[in-house]
Structure 1
């Protein structure tokens, strides 16, 4: 493929060089080395601009400067220049796409519809459960049928809040989850009154004062949750769950388990 100088300059610009930088770099390869006067003679760049452009190219690792009088410049080899630009392109690509990926994960991880929030992904749901529990002052309810959803972070948050006198109830039919809950001082362990034996979708529930989170697990193991706090939606949902006897309304009727 035949490329003329204008095409090459355009290509260098797409690689991040300015038009003047591309012209000076090409001119220096044409000359081998030269002063600002030499460069200005063969390139469409004013001599007064050559100095700053050459300094910029030197900072990019594309030009070397000889401190003589007058100052002389020479380009690095094409192989070295190509490697330098390739590395810079990769660094900028990674920086750009890492940021976009972070923005995408943040936006796809949690979204709002008025007072109801949707959270996707186990780590983000774990964060939200820990936040709800940590902010509770009066009562906490946490339950899950899956041991892997009762994480160490949630366990520590439950233990910390229950130690301050916050009422804490743990719900599960799974023996492994119950054993861990029972080992936490101040946490009351209950068996859900209503629990379909065929349930394979429920994830976890967390109620903390006037906040609630409910999650489901998909066939591929991914988890999605809705949560709300201090809203009419949250108060109605908590009331529906409690009056449905899935959660005991009066925790004093249960036997407190301790380590």
Structure 2
């Protein structure tokens, strides 16, 4: 990656954290200097010189830049650790404020059980699916059945969340599509029951241009999440469906399919 690409990526990230483009470019220019004048910042950042002072004032107010009142004025960026800590705190504070606002305005009518039984929702993107997976694992009361077809979807946080479930006496049953996945699951989670799945007909061959199942999660035998993706695609964005309810057709089907691969686990709702 070229220096220009690195700079543009850093500018974009800083904008995501709340800085305006000129502020981000001035801050990055100062990280390349022990200290600098408005003229030097302008030359490195390509921010119009008349706008440099405005950007610096904002950065100073946010604790990211220090000012030496000399002639001409000198500016310097705070250290990287201090800057990232300041930005992280600012971001966390915004999330906390947003959460408070959402809790204040949220008002959802309870839905009739008959309507909920037929609901199927979709999710797109690995981050969103991982977040829903962690929520479901954390909320499990009695049993977690997780079938993993692709080892790349087994993160440290997944293992930590499963360990926490085991610690609160939740039964954890883990299926791996390959012997390698099964072996790793058994090593990482010796207290869980681990098996090699017999569901290749469901998961597919994972060949070119074929959709592959990434994960199947069944929590308490009534809440289901199925992830899928194109493993050989240039953009292997994961998608998932999420369903719940003992009488939801998709949940019933997958509960029975998963149970067929768990010969020692008896499905209570045949």
Following superposition of structure 1 onto structure 2, how do residues 47-86 of structure 1 map, counting pairs within 5 Å?
81-84=50-53
Structure 2 residue aligned with 1:199, among 187, 206, 211? 206
Supply the RMSD in Å over aligned alpha carbons.
3.5
Instruction: Identify the residue that residue 83 of structure 2 maps to in structure 1.
Output: none
Give the aligned length. 156
Secondary structure in 1 matching 2:200: coil
Q: Distance in 1 between matches of 2:148 and 2:165?
A: 19
Q: Distance in 1 between matches of 2:181 and 2:241?
A: 22
Conserved? CA contact 1:242–1:248, under 8 Å: no
- 1:136-186 CA-to-partner distances (Å, cap 9, x unmatched) read 011101111111101111111112212322111101122332122112132
Q: Structure 1 stretches of 5 or more lacking a match?
A: 1-78, 91-97, 100-113, 254-259
Structure 2 residue aligned with 1:128, among 114, 120, 132? 132
User: Which sits farther off after the overlay, 139-148 or 196-205?
Assistant: 196-205
The 1:84/1:212 distance shift into structure 2, 3 A limit, reads same
Q: TM-score, normalised by structure 2?
A: 0.49
Secondary structure in 2 matching 1:137: coil
Q: How far is the alpha carbon of 1:231 from its aligned partner?
A: 6.8
Q: Distance in 2 between matches of 1:175 and 1:192?
A: 9
Instruction: Identify the residue that residue 160 of structure 1 maps to in structure 2.
Output: 164
Q: TM-score, normalised by structure 1?
A: 0.50
Following superposition of structure 1 onto structure 2, how do residues 1-259 of structure 1 map, counting pairs within 5 Å?
81-84=50-53, 115-183=119-187, 184-196=189-201, 198-200=205-207, 201-209=212-220, 210-218=222-230, 219=233, 220-230=235-245, 232-233=247-248, 236-244=249-257, 245-248=259-262, 250-251=264-265
Conserved? CA contact 2:125–2:239, under 8 Å: yes
Q: How far is the alpha carbon of 1:229 from its aligned partner?
A: 3.2
Which 4+ runs in 1 deviate beyond 6 A?
A: 86-90
Q: Distance in 2 between matches of 1:83 and 1:242?
A: 61
Larger radius of gyration: 1
Q: How far is the alpha carbon of 1:191 from its aligned partner?
A: 2.0
